[in-house]
Amino acid sequence: MSNDSYTRHIPPFSDVLSELPPQFPDETETDVVVIGAGPNGLLAAAYLTAAGLDVTVVERRFEIGGGLATEEILFPGHYANTHASYHYMVDYLPPLTDFDMAGQGLRYHKPYGQIGGVFGEDYVYLCKSFEDSRDALARFGIDQADAYGRMATRFHQIVDEILAPATYLPPDPPVDLTQALQRTAIGQDMLEVSEMSALELISSYGMRDSIQATLLYSACQWGLSPIESGVGFMVPLMVDRGTQKAFIQGGSHRLASSFARVILRQGGLILDNAAVVEITTDGDSATGVVLDDGRKIRTRKAVLSTLDPQSTFLRLLPAEAVPAEVRDAADGWVWDKWSLLSVFFVTKGKPQWKPNPNNGMIGLPTPFDTILGFDDTEDVTSFFDSIEKGEIPKFAGHFTVETEFDPTLSQVEGEDVCFFQMPAPYDWDWDGRGDEVVREVTALLDSHYEGFAESVIDCVVETPKTIEQRIPCMRRGSIKHGDYNPLQMGFNRPSVECSSSRTPVNGLYLGGASMFPGGMVIGGPGYIAAQVICEDIEVKFPFDRPDRLKRYLDTYFPDGKD
Amino acid sequence: MSQTTAPAVDPTTGQRLDKRSSYDFVVVGGGPNGLGIAAYLSKWGFSVCLVEARPELGGGADNAEPIPGCSIDPHAVYFYGAAGPPLEQLDLASYGFRMSFIPNYGGCITHDHRAFFGGNTFHDSSSRDPEVYVEMLGVDRDTAKMYLEFMDALRPRMRDFFRSIYWTPPYDESWGIPKAQTPVARVLRDCLPMYDDAMLDMSFNEMMDALALPDPVRAGLLLGSWGNGPHPYWKGMALPGFACTQLQFFSGCTPVGGMHALAHALARCALANGAKIFVNSPVSEIIVHDGVAKGVRVADESLLEEKTIWANMGVINNTHVKSLPKLVSSDHLTKTFRQRIADLSLKGGSLYVANFIVNELPEYSDAPERYEGSNYPSGMALHCTTDALMELMRDVHTYRMHPTDLDHYIAWYIVHAPHDPTRNRSNLPGGVVTVNLQVPAPEDHKDGPLAVNDAKYEILDNLKQVLRHYAPNMTEDKYIKSVINTPYDSEQRNMGFVGGNWMGMRQSEDEWWARKPLPELARYRTPVEGLYLCHQTSYPGGLCLSAVPYNLMHILKEDYSEIEATTPEWWYPSPWHLTDAEGARGRSSLSTGGDG
């Protein structure tokens, strides 16, 4: 296809058009270019513009947001959160308090019912309220409620005191971190759980199998192996935050819009339909970017890439600008061990849970996620194992009746939006077996929800391949831009040279999900990048550190960090 | 202005209000016109709050991505506003808005493969040989010569022609200024030797008769008029019909990234200048005290904590004029006025819009050399002759058109991909193209709108047949995904498209210029002081031209001394604009009105 007419120059044939005002200049200059308008890019741009910097955010897609996407893929009139449907770290995300996000129309809502787990005859119900969860589990025996209580309390302390604040500070070398954590009992606890696998940790509390299965699925669904040790610290995070998830009224995209409003008001510029094809360099310094239509944006201070390491270091930068060890690290980057399959449905009316006399839970509010299709803990473990090997042993996962929580997602009265999601391998015959996916998932839901199959009006399947097509730096459908394994976490994410956001290329910073501490709309990479950029270019970071971060630093690094 | 105004006082309780919920202006609706006026007012220096009912801003300036990387245009497809002042005054380019101009805009093919290729190539000033036009238009030498002279005379004044008709506030009917003295008549009389006042009363079809243009060029222009404004047989609408076809050639472009990029640019201009914008916030009431608009109340389902938003200066309504009686309490609108609103005709026709995502560019069997590279036309009228069009028009306006009747599938075919690489960001093999086909259709159907929705798959199949008739390579295996929005769907998606009418109402002479939508509303004012209309149901209608907000600014400048006193350097009014005082002096004032 020829692109020769794709021009911002006025063709000579029209007298009218020759009087037009100029279009966007071919060459512009700015303090900082942020590559990618996902949650981290937007968050960083909000802080950098607040610091008084001139910032241009460039986004490849026609909409900003990256994983914060609420789009009308169920056309016409129904919206789906195609990536993140809820967020984990709402209680901790600094920008939510630093900026007047509520004033931009942002409303988070944390549903009462967080997780429902259907395992055999058991229905495990977990709430955002600790004691209500214990009440719901007490029907399996007070000992069960107590065991859960011990686990949940411990997990929450680890998150609240260590993991949450550490999310927003540059990572420490493992030796330093170990030393620091030794200072408190909770820190020692965390060191202990880090050595364990998810399965070992969760089964160490003596809980009933159905409860363990529910927790294990919740801990691992986003890409943690149940049996791998060394990333055990992720389990408290996933489990604790998994029962504290909050969604945004109006869809996840509203967070992106709210950031955009802040950025624009502070003088920033956002360009969409603007794909970066090159990060320009002068010697060992980054000097700007080139867009796919030839436009050049020069930077006076910094380029911040929120893309995956292969895109940044192997595709966009000239080879000679990148040190060999960084290129090698990028080359050896391991993508997520599995991706996601999402099936979005439009139904006539909200799916109604089939009355189940055994669950005894009728009358409780619908949980945000309901885990369906597994037998027990062993089944969950072997399911993840098969998915990791590239197989789909069966269709089982979690289901959310989204319009139950956010009616704005359907613009057509009487029609509702819901979605089923499950871990899924990238390498599978998605093209050839698409019908099977819909049939199997519909059958699973039909067995739990009254007349589900008949109520379906429309359905869209988003496979690992479509995730990659929408957002190419989620290569192989990697929603976290790269696997969570010990070699790619903490100080190693994405490599020891770059996990602080600084890179060996002067003026080039990283700030996406592939950087410490990772993805899942936790905002850490963007927040750290903004702090580090401000520090390097000697501009005052526009907000004080949250008290929680200060307490963490005082407790664990009383002598300061390097 | 906001920076210096003390916190507003609640007019019902006398209590001071939180500054957050009090603004100079509140705009109801975030379509292109609502965003446009929010951008104008905030750039002018006033505090603005815009509330939109839907989850997304943009109204008809809208894109969706049903499959990854391939965007579709459910409504507006072209940006026609390149010749208007707003692009420059709001400096939309600086917010990233880009236009890709199309060398070969489009043409028309009849079912028996007679083809006309128009667009900008057709008007290329390098060709002055009438013989070229004899062949191109299928006319004799004299007609060709006449057409050439006509276009040569008009071209230097084309921008004035557009601005006089679109970017000028209508005159008040009570001023008694005759039709022959309207801005567009003055411009054309001034530049066209063959101009005749009789043109003012013609239908566009009759004007084509007068210009002796045959099919398929004529059919293409007629469909272009129907698709973008007046229907070709509506009397007195020849010049608006002609204008909107020329707008396509001389002021039109593919907006890079899709029409939603225009909404982004307008919204970003407003936001960068301090406006507040909230979505998912339907307005349930426009608050009026003592006959003056004081603010709005958003519906309970809105996410805003503060359900009342106060306007210190005015409320701008970017919703359908028919919603006015629903939003303003009956205490403040007379029964007569409400009835006059209720009696407005909305009949204008709708469209079935199919978006086909295919893995190959359709290749026309006729004159393939005309479709190479960037010459690939961005729009084509398919299946179109004047006779067939007139029959279709009859059946649409009498609601007789059956959604599955293949004979009635005159379609406007749009492909942006060759002119805008951002339209395909998918990594699917083979190069993916979105083909948009629009078929004129009635707003309603004799069996009800849902009868049309039930025929969706049949409509899609029929459209595929039409396409294949002209582009034989479009076999079934080329289709990756097909979506359709019917008139019913269009209304569901956009409450301003009542009955699926994209223009919101009829673009006929009895609801045009000084009568649009009603004579007492033509100057964008309403019976409620401080409440203004800024919707495509006001003059000059839709097409995302930002003309309504530009025109409204003239009126606001007259009504608010604060606005007049702070007129920025970047503002320039329409040279044909008459203030109320000038207008009241009637025809004598025209001499001061300026003619470009």
- pLDDT tens for each residue of A27-70: 999 999 999 999 999 999 999 999 999 999 999 999 999 999 99
∠ Cα B107 B108 B114 (to 5°): 125
Closest-CA residue of B relative to A106 is B303
Q: Does A469 touch chain B (CB under 8 A)?
A: yes
On the question of a common fold for A29-70+249-333+481-556 and A111-244+337-470, the answer reads no
Residues B359 and B464 in one domain: yes
The whole-angstrom distance between B308's CA and the closest CA on chain A is 14
Q: Does A468 touch chain B (CB under 8 A)?
A: yes
More confident residue, A201 or B368: A201
Q: Does A431 touch chain B (CB under 8 A)?
A: no
Q: What is the pLDDT, as a whole number, of residue B442?
A: 84
Whether A361 shows a pLDDT value over 80: the answer reads: no
Last residue of a domain, one of B190, B221, B249: B249
Average pLDDT on A549-555 reads 96
Mean pLDDT, chain B, rounded, equals 87
The encoded tokens of residue A348 equal 């006539």
Say which residue the tokens 């791998």 belong to.
A228
DSSP string for residues in A500-541: TSB-SSBTEEE-STTSTT--SS--HHHHHHHHHHHHHTT---
**Confidence band (pLDDT; 50, 70, 90) for A17?**
low
Interval A281-312: pLDDT, tens: 999 999 999 999 899 999 999 999 999 999 99
Residue B107 belongs to some domain of the structure: no
Residues B299 and B353 in one domain: no
Whether A92 shows a pLDDT value over 70: the answer reads: yes
Residues B210 and B282 in one domain: no
More confident residue, A200 or B149: A200
Chain A residues in contact with B101 (beta carbon < 8 A): 5, 7, 10-11, 14, 17
Q: What percent of chain B has pLDDT over 70?
A: 92
Whether A126 shows a pLDDT value over 50: the answer reads: yes
CA distance A312 to A205: 43
Q: Does A61 touch chain B (CB under 8 A)?
A: yes
Q: What is the pLDDT, as a whole number, of residue B119?
A: 56
Residues B531 and B490 in one domain: no
Residue B298 belongs to some domain of the structure: yes
Average pLDDT on A440-455 reads 95
Q: What is the pLDDT, as a whole number, of residue B196?
A: 92
* Cβ separation B420–A24 shorter than 8 A: no
Interval A460-472: pLDDT, tens: 999 999 999 999 9
Residues B339 and B402 in one domain: no
Among A309, A305, A306, A278, smallest CA distance to A292 is for A278
More confident residue, B399 or A226: A226
Residues B353 and B339 in one domain: no
Q: What is the pLDDT, as a whole number, of residue B124?
A: 54
Q: What is the pLDDT, as a whole number, of residue B8?
A: 46
**Confidence band (pLDDT; 50, 70, 90) for A381?**
very high
The CATH number given to whatever domain includes residue B548 is 3.50.50.60
The amino acid sitting at B252 is: G
Residues B26 and B161 in one domain: no
Whether A181 shows a pLDDT value over 70: the answer reads: yes
Closest-CA residue of B relative to A79 is B55
**What are all long-range contacts of A136-140, with beta carbons under 8 Å and residues at least 24 apart?**
A136/A361, A136/A364, A137/A211, A139/A360, A140/A208, A140/A210, A140/A211
Whether B6 shows a pLDDT value over 70: the answer reads: no
Residue B141 belongs to some domain of the structure: yes
Q: What is the pLDDT, as a whole number, of residue B535?
A: 96
Residues B316 and B417 in one domain: no
Whether B380 shows a pLDDT value over 90: the answer reads: no
Last residue of a domain, one of B203, B218, B249: B249
Supply the ipTM of this predicted assembly: 0.91
pTM: 0.93
**Confidence band (pLDDT; 50, 70, 90) for A9?**
very low
Tally of domains within chain B: 3
Interval B218-249: pLDDT, tens: 898 999 898 888 899 999 999 999 999 888 88
Q: Which residues pair with A342 in a beta bridge?
A: A421, A462
Residues B177 and B212 in one domain: yes
Q: What is the pLDDT, as a whole number, of residue B402?
A: 73
CATH topology of domain A111-244+337-470: Polyamine Oxidase; Chain A, domain 2 (3.90.660)
Domain boundaries, chain A: 29-70+249-333+481-556, 111-244+337-470
Q: Which residues pair with B107 in a beta bridge?
A: B117, B380
Residue B430 belongs to some domain of the structure: yes
Whether A423 shows a pLDDT value over 80: the answer reads: yes
Query: Which range, of A240-254, A327-341, B211-225, averages the lowest pLDDT?
Result: B211-225
B37: helix, strand or coil: helix
The whole-angstrom distance between B207's CA and the closest CA on chain A is 23
Instruction: Count the neighbouring beta carbons within 10 Å of the beta carbon of residue A457.
Output: 14
Residues B385 and B314 in one domain: no
Q: Does B71 touch chain A (CB under 8 A)?
A: yes
Chain A residues in contact with B159 (beta carbon < 8 A): 15-16, 19
Among A333, A341, A278, smallest CA distance to A475 is for A333
CA distance B143 to A116: 77
Interval A342-352: pLDDT, tens: 999 999 999 98
Q: Does A294 touch chain B (CB under 8 A)?
A: no
CA distance B397 to A284: 68
B87: helix, strand or coil: helix
**What are all long-range contacts of A211-215, with beta carbons under 8 Å and residues at least 24 apart?**
A211/A117, A211/A124, A211/A137, A211/A140, A211/A144, A211/A148, A212/A377, A213/A117, A213/A119, A213/A124, A213/A374, A213/A376, A213/A377, A213/A379, A213/A380, A214/A115, A214/A117, A214/A119, A214/A124, A214/A126, A214/A371, A215/A151, A215/A239
**Confidence band (pLDDT; 50, 70, 90) for B7?**
very low
Interval A479-521: pLDDT, tens: 999 999 999 999 999 999 999 999 999 999 999 999 999 999 9
Average pLDDT on A321-328 reads 95
**Confidence band (pLDDT; 50, 70, 90) for A19?**
low
Residues B541 and B404 in one domain: no
- The answer to whether domain A29-70+249-333+481-556 has CATH 3.50.50.60 is yes
Q: What percent of chain A has pLDDT over 90?
A: 87
**Confidence band (pLDDT; 50, 70, 90) for B498?**
confident
Interval B111-168: pLDDT, tens: 887 877 765 545 555 556 778 778 777 788 888 888 888 888 888 888 899 999 999 9
Residue B112 belongs to some domain of the structure: no
Whether B10 shows a pLDDT value over 50: the answer reads: no
Say which residue the tokens 């076999």 belong to.
B475
The size of the A-B interface in CB pairs under 8 A is: 201
Q: Does B596 touch chain A (CB under 8 A)?
A: no
Q: Does A136 touch chain B (CB under 8 A)?
A: no
More confident residue, B594 or B54: B54
**Confidence band (pLDDT; 50, 70, 90) for B594?**
very low
Interface mutation target, options A3, A8, A10, A16, chain B, most CBs of B under 10 Å: A16
Closest-CA residue of B relative to A251 is B55
∠ Cα A174 A175 A180 (to 5°): 95
Residue B329 belongs to some domain of the structure: yes
Contact map slice: B 383-422 vs A, CB within 8 A: 417-422
Q: Which helix (H) or strand (E) holds A496?
A: none
Q: What is the pLDDT, as a whole number, of residue B20?
A: 58
Q: What percent of chain A has pLDDT over 70?
A: 95
Closest-CA residue of A relative to B55 is A250
Q: Does B257 touch chain A (CB under 8 A)?
A: yes
Residue of A16, A60, A273 with shortest CB distance to B159: A16
Contact map slice: B 48-67 vs A, CB within 8 A: 54-56, 63-67
Interval B260-279: pLDDT, tens: 999 999 999 999 999 999 99
Residue B579 belongs to some domain of the structure: no
**Confidence band (pLDDT; 50, 70, 90) for B507?**
confident
Q: Does A18 touch chain B (CB under 8 A)?
A: no
Instruction: Count the neighbouring beta carbons within 10 Å of the beta carbon of residue A209.
Output: 18
Whether B554 shows a pLDDT value over 90: the answer reads: yes
Chain A residues in contact with B492 (beta carbon < 8 A): 76-77, 411-412
Q: Does A6 touch chain B (CB under 8 A)?
A: yes
Q: What is the pLDDT, as a whole number, of residue B126?
A: 52
Chain A residues in contact with B570 (beta carbon < 8 A): none
Q: Does B74 touch chain A (CB under 8 A)?
A: yes
CA distance A272 to A37: 8
The whole-angstrom distance between B268's CA and the closest CA on chain A is 7
Chain B residues in contact with A274 (beta carbon < 8 A): 96
Whether A447 shows a pLDDT value over 80: the answer reads: yes
**Phi/psi of residue A268, nearest 5 degrees:** -80, 165
Instruction: Return the exposure string of A116-141: e unless at least 16 CB atoms fall within 10 Å of the residue's CB, then b.
Output: bbbbeebbbbbbbeeebbbebbeebe
Residues B281 and B388 in one domain: no
* Cβ separation B64–A409 shorter than 8 A: no
Q: What is the pLDDT, as a whole number, of residue B502?
A: 82
Domain encompassing residue B401: 349-494
Query: DSSP secondary-structure letter at B553?
Result: H
Question: Quick one: A155 exposed, middle or buried, by C-beta within 10 A (0-12, 13-18, 19+)?
Answer: buried
